[in-house]
Structure 1
Amino acid sequence: MPKLDALSLPPAVNVQLWRGDHMVRAPMAGIPTGWDALDAELPGKGWPSQCLTEVLQPQAGTLEWRLTGRGLQQCPAHKPVIALGPPLPPHASGLAQSGLAPGQLVWIHSSRPQDQLWALEQLLKANAAAALLAWLPQVQPEQIRRLQISAQQFEGPVFVFRPESSQHQASAAPLRLLVRSSQPWSLQLQLLKRRGPVHQGTLELPAVPPSLQAVLPARLWPGTVPLPQPATAAVSVSSSNTALSLPYHDTDLGRPAAPLPLPRSQRARQSSLLH
């Protein structure tokens, strides 16, 4: 089969042509992620709209807001940001420090997976929010395909959170990410799927919470080299009549514990002095 020459195609067709080893050129207007390094690796230079962004993680309820919080600040204020089925209640004051007004957040709770799927599909078709975040740990590949079709009518980003074990399942989501926590205060992100060439390696994204940025020491910021720990000085105790009193703390309870018992010889010497 002869190789297709883009120069021989009509200009209107050539503009719409996408080769898998290039970033997609179709308009995918969305919102910036808040990290320049991540924007540079995504088609459209940000969280895409009109499609699903599937986020996989080892444990639900730990990294979702840290990953999406910077981008949600860019959402239009006249539309709500809807969280559908989060495993933990959203913390309004913490999200407010990230730039998301508490009055803009709508929390929909449902314990039945079929109700969550129905609600998400209706929200997508109605284009009723600035952004949608849905926790769907039990969703099936055919349901993801149906949601992706509905997401083409939605003008904002749509995040679907699933467990890390789902990465080997087929998915119709055009963008799939695997995110893990990385110390100190960083996110380790791997691009599993995008509308473009295969991404190699991982991205380290600094994600210090806004409430800690003013008080966190510089040595604990991402990218800094930890300071060397001072060497522990050895203490030698010679045998004498004076007992050496050392501090002893119960680290489990966080308060001073009972003092260590004295050796038998010192207890006998103290008893003889008292009598």
Structure 2
Amino acid sequence: MMTPERIHPALWRATQLAKGAARNLPTGHASLSAELPDGGWPLGSLIELLTPHPGVGEIRLLRPALAQLETRRPIALVQPPHEPHIASWMSWRLDPRQLLWVAPQKPVDTLWATEQILKNGSCGALICWLPHVRPESLRRLHLAAQASDLLFIAIRPANAAQNATPAPLRLALAPAPGGLSVHILKRRGPVCDTPLYVGLEPGALTPSSLRHAPLDRRLPALPAAGRTTPALAA
């Protein structure tokens, strides 16, 4: 009998995790990787992380994956709730010169900037904070991501779990002692009813990491929609 995977790589049995259907980046967390299709974060795809509030450990969860990116490719942070803390990035052994901080003034500009970064393809990762977004806008971003090879993370509030999503992978994060409780709400595979525990390294700051650090590379004022930002031009 022919298996679903042999008919088309995007098909899989509902009782099994999808295999070989996407490029991926190892998560650096064995317990999490074991529950994800292909054992890692899918590249060129929308991934949603839902949090009860900013700062529960979502960036530390992503740190091992970000550390694997090519150093010449920027890590774009679009509309983070707080200014990136450079000393923390340095303590995680991530080069703060890779950071591309984008802070649009309006939600529509946030979506536009995110889509332009996805289409440009020069970044290795894009993390955007989307407290309020329409389903059709998410679909548009997911389609743009599929033409790229970057790690695309959308961080959204926990109550977004009540709404449908085009994201093939959606995780709900909650703080836990020494790490995170991770509930896989959606994946290419069987339903995951039980949250799993992911331990996180403490973000310890050393004297060397507290010395003067380069500031974030914040983009100049966002141009009118439809024009390409010079900093993102190929």
TM interval, short-chain normalised: 0.7 to 0.9
Point out the structure with max Rg over C-alpha. Answer: 1
Query: Given the alignment, which residue of 60, 70, 86 partners 1:66?
Result: 60
Q: What corresponds to 2:204 in structure 1?
A: 211
Residue deviations 1:41-85 (CA, integer Å, cap 9, x gap):
111211110111100010024422122112111111110001000
Q: What corresponds to 2:85 in structure 1?
A: 91
Query: Given the alignment, which residue of 30, 35, 40 partners 1:36?
Result: 30
Cα pair 1:61 1:86 within 8 Å, conserved: no
Cα pair 2:10 2:21 within 8 Å, conserved: no
| 1:100-115 equivalence runs, <5 A | 100-115=94-109
Identity %: 36
1:141 is displaced (CA, Å) by: 1.2
Q: What corresponds to 1:156 in structure 2?
A: 150
Which residue identity lines up with residue 74 of structure 1 in the other structure?
A: Q
| 1:113-262 equivalence runs, <5 A | 113-183=107-177, 185-211=178-204
Quickly say closer, same or farther: Cα 1:205–1:15, change in 2 above 3 A.
closer
1:99 is displaced (CA, Å) by: 2.0
Residue deviations 1:72-125 (CA, integer Å, cap 9, x gap):
111111100010000001111111111210111111111311001001111111
Q: Scaled by the length of structure 1, what TM-score is found?
A: 0.70
1:210 is displaced (CA, Å) by: 4.1
CA distance in 1, matches of 2:196, 2:45: 22
1:211 is displaced (CA, Å) by: 1.3
1:12 is displaced (CA, Å) by: 5.4
Structure 1 unaligned regions, length at least 5: 214-275
**Is the partner of 2:50 in helix, strand or coil?**
strand
Structure 2 unaligned regions, length at least 5: 207-234
**Is the partner of 2:25 in helix, strand or coil?**
coil
**What is the total number of aligned residue pairs between the two structures?**
206
Quickly say closer, same or farther: Cα 1:17–1:46, change in 2 above 3 A.
closer
Is structure 2 residue 39 aligned with structure 1 residue 45? yes
Cα pair 1:86 1:134 within 8 Å, conserved: yes
CA distance in 1, matches of 2:62, 2:164: 24
Cα pair 1:144 1:172 within 8 Å, conserved: yes
Query: Given the alignment, which residue of 75, 79, 83 partners 2:73?
Result: 79
1:206 is displaced (CA, Å) by: 1.1
Residue deviations 1:242-262 (CA, integer Å, cap 9, x gap):
xxxxxxxxxxxxxxxxxxxxx
1:22 is displaced (CA, Å) by: 1.9
The structure showing larger relative contact order (alpha-carbon pairs under 8 Å, at least 6 residues apart) is: 2
1:157 is displaced (CA, Å) by: 1.1
Cα pair 2:91 2:205 within 8 Å, conserved: no
Cα pair 1:30 1:156 within 8 Å, conserved: no
CA distance in 1, matches of 2:36, 2:176: 21
Which residue identity lines up with residue 194 of structure 2 in the other structure?
A: G
More strand by share: 2
CA distance in 2, matches of 1:119, 1:180: 28
Cα pair 1:6 1:14 within 8 Å, conserved: no
* RMSD over equivalenced CA pairs, Å: 2.0
Cα pair 2:172 2:184 within 8 Å, conserved: yes
Quickly say closer, same or farther: Cα 1:13–1:57, change in 2 above 3 A.
same
CA distance in 2, matches of 1:94, 1:157: 21
